[in-house]
C-alpha cells in the first residue's frame, strides 16, 4: 500500500484528497472490522471458507483472534495474499476466472459437506468473490464462463445484472454453498463492495437465498447481447439451473454480518476533511450508471457549488461511492474510476480551485493495477502541452493512459480490502 506520510499541509489539495482516500480504505481494513464480529466458539469444529480480494486479510484476522480449533481455505486475487498459520490461502485470477478458483470452489464444498450441528462454518466474503469462485453449472465449461464474463464486463451491465447471471451459471453461488453447510451453524462475515449492500450481490450470494430467476439471467444476457452456448440457453429456459430461493429451510438459521460498508468509509473520509477545516458532504454511497454520465453530472454539481453554494459553500469536499459501468467501445481498457474522472474534467473544463480524486478502494481500477487518478485545475493545459487530447482519450475509453502520461495516476498496490469506488471532489473557491 502506498504511504501517505508527508508532513501534513492542510492547504495542499493533493494531500487532502489522498488522505481522505486513505481514511476510507483504513476504515474497511479486515484487521479492524472482522474481530468484533466473530461469533462464539462452537462445541465442535470451526471451518473457514471464503473468497474475495480481502479474503486472505480477513482470514488472518480470524486466525489471530480465534481461540479454538480452526482450519479451512480461502481464495484471493493474485497479489492479495496474506499468510495465515491455520487457514490455507489460494491465489486465482480476477476479474476473469481461472482454473485455480475452480479447484478452490470444489475443495470448499468438500470441506463443508458432512459437518454436524455442533460445527461452525465461517464464510468470509468480499469484493471479487464472484470471479474467484468459478464453478460452472453442469454442462458449462470454464472457458464458456470466461467468455461470458469478459463480454459482460465490457458490456456496460451493472454489477447487479452481472451477478444475476453469475448466480444462475454456478454450482456454488446463489445460496448453494450455504445449503451445503447444513446442518452446521453458518455465519457469513462480509465486506460489502456493492451499492445497497445486498448480500445476494456480495460475491453473488453463495450463502444466501436468491430471489432472481433463470429467466432474469436470460434477460440480462439478451439485453446486452452476450452469446451463450445453446445447451446453456436451453438449461436456463427450462429453469434447470435455478438458484436457492427464499424460504429454503436449510438456510433458516444462517447468519449474515456485514462488517464493512462503503457508507462507513465515506464517513471516515468526511471526518478527515472536517478535521482539516474543510466541510464534507457525503452525497451517496450507491451512485450507479455509465461512468462518463456520472462524471458529467458531478461536474454540473461542482459548478452549482461554485455559482450558488448548493449543496455547500466552498471550501468543501463532495464524497460519493457506488459502482459505475463502462461499455468499452474504443481502443482503451476502460476503468470506471478513471473514466468518471476524465469525463468530469472534460465537462468541467479548466475551472480554478477544483480538484478531484477517483479510485477503487481495492487498488485496482478495472483490469489495470492502478487504483485511479487525480484531476487538477491545470490538468487540461498540461495535457495539451504534451499533445494529449482529453476528449479523444475519453472516446477511446483510454483514461488510464491519459492520466499515466501526466503522472497523475493513483497507485497504491493491493489494499487488501474493497468497499468499491471512492470519489472526492474538492472545491476550494
> How far is 232 from 141, CA to CA, in rounded Å?
10
pLDDT at 4 over 90: no
Q: CB–CB of 67/43 below 8 Å?
A: no
Unique residue bearing C-alpha cell 433458516: 252
Give 303-336 as a 3 state SS string. HHHHHHCCCCCCCEEEEEEEEEECECCCCCCCCH
Q: What is the pTM of this model?
A: 0.93
* pLDDT above 90 for 116: yes
CA 287-288-294 angle, 5° bins: 80
For the domain made up of 13-27+262-427, give the CATH fold. glycerate kinase, domain 1 (3.40.1480)
Given a cut of 60, whether residue 79 has pLDDT beyond it is yes
pLDDT of residue 72: 98
Total residues found in the chain within this entry? 429
Band the pLDDT of 11: cuts 50, 70, 90.
low
* pLDDT per residue as tens digits for the range 266-315: 999 999 999 999 999 999 999 999 999 999 999 999 999 999 999 999 99
Domains of the chain, by residue range, sit at 13-27+262-427, 30-260
Mapped onto helix, strand or coil, the DSSP state of residue 379 is helix
pLDDT value of position 255: 98
pLDDT of residue 185: 98
pLDDT tens digits, 369-408: 999 999 999 999 999 999 999 999 999 999 999 999 999 9
Domain 30-260 bears CATH identifier 3.30.565.10: no
- 273 C-beta neighbours (distance < 10 Å), count: 23
The residues, ordered by sequence, that sit 6+ positions from 320 with a Cβ below 8 Å of its Cβ are: 266, 282, 283, 284, 285, 287, 298, 421, 423
Chain mean pLDDT for the chain: 94
More confident residue, 352 or 36: 36
Amino acid at each position: 500500500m502506498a504511504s501517505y506520510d508527508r508532513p501534513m499541509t492542510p492547504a495542499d489539495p493533493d494531500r487532502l484528497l489522498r488522505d481522505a482516500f486513505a481514511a476510507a480504505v483504513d476504515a474497511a481494513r479486515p484487521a479492524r472490522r472482522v474481530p468484533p464480529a466473530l461469533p462464539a466458539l462452537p462445541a465442535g469444529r470451526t471451518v473457514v471458507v471464503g473468497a474475495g480480494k480481502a479474503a486472505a486479510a480477513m482470514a488472518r484476522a480470524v486466525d489471530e483472534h480465534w481461540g479454538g480449533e480452526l482450519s479451512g481455505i480461502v481464495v484471493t486475487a493474485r497479489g492479495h495474499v496474506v499468510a495465515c498459520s491455520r487457514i490455507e490461502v489460494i491465489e486465482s485470477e480476477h476479474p476473469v476466472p481461472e482454473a485455480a478458483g475452480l479447484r478452490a470452489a470444489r475443495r470448499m464444498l468438500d470441506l463443508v459437506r458432512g459437518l454436524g450441528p455442533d460445527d461452525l462454518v465461517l464464510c468470509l466474503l468480499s469484493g471479487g468473490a464472484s470471479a474467484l469462485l468459478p464453478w460452472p453449472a453442469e454442462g458449462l465449461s470454464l472457458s464458456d464462463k470466461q467468455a461470458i464474463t469478459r463480454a459482460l464486463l465490457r458490456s456496460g451491465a451493472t454489477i447487479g445484472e452481472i451477478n444475476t447471471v453469475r448466480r444462475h451459471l454456478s454450482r456454488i453461488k446463489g445460496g448453494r454453498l450455504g445449503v451445503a453447510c447444513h446442518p452446521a451453524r453458518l455465519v457469513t462475515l462480509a465486506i460489502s463492495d456493492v451499492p445497497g449492500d445486498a448480500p445476494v450481490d456480495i460475491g453473488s450470494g453463495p450463502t444466501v437465498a436468491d430471489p432472481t430467476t433463470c429467466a432474469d439471467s436470460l434477460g440480462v444476457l439478451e439485453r446486452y447481447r452476450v452469446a451463450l452456448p445453446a445447451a446453456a440457453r436451453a438449461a436456463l429456459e427450462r429453469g434447470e439451473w435455478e438458484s436457492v430461493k427464499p424460504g429454503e429451510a436449510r438456510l433458516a438459521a444462517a447468519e449474515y454480518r456485514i462488517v464493512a460498508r462503503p457508507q462507513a468509509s465515506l464517513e471516515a473520509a468526511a471526518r478527515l476533511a472536517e478535521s482539516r477545516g474543510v466541510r464534507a458532504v457525503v452525497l451517496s454511497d450507491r451512485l450507479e450508471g455509465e461512468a462518463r454520465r456520472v462524471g458529467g453530472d458531478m461536474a454540473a454539481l461542482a459548478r452549482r457549488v461554485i455559482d450558488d453554494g448548493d449543496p455547500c459553500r466552498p471550501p468543501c469536499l463532495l464524497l460519493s461511492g457506488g459502482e459505475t459501468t463502462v461499455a468499452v467501445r474504443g481502443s482503451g481498457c476502460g476503468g470506471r474510476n478513471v473514466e468518471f474522472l476524465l469525463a468530469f474534467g472534460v465537462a468541467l473544463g479548466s475551472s480554478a480551485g477544483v480538484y478531484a480524486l477517483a479510485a477503487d478502494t481495492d487498488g485496482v481500477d478495472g483490469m489495470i493495477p492502478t487504483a485511479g487518478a487525480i484531476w487538477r485545475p491545470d490538468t487540461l493545459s498540461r495535457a495539451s502541452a504534451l499533445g494529449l487530447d482529453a476528449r479523444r482519450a475519453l472516446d477511446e475509453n483510454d483514461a488510464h493512459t491519459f492520466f499515466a502520461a501526466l503522472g497523475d495516476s493513483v497507485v497504491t498496490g493491493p489494499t487488501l480490502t474493497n468497499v468499491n469506488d471512492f470519489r472526492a471532489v474538492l472545491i476550494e473557491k
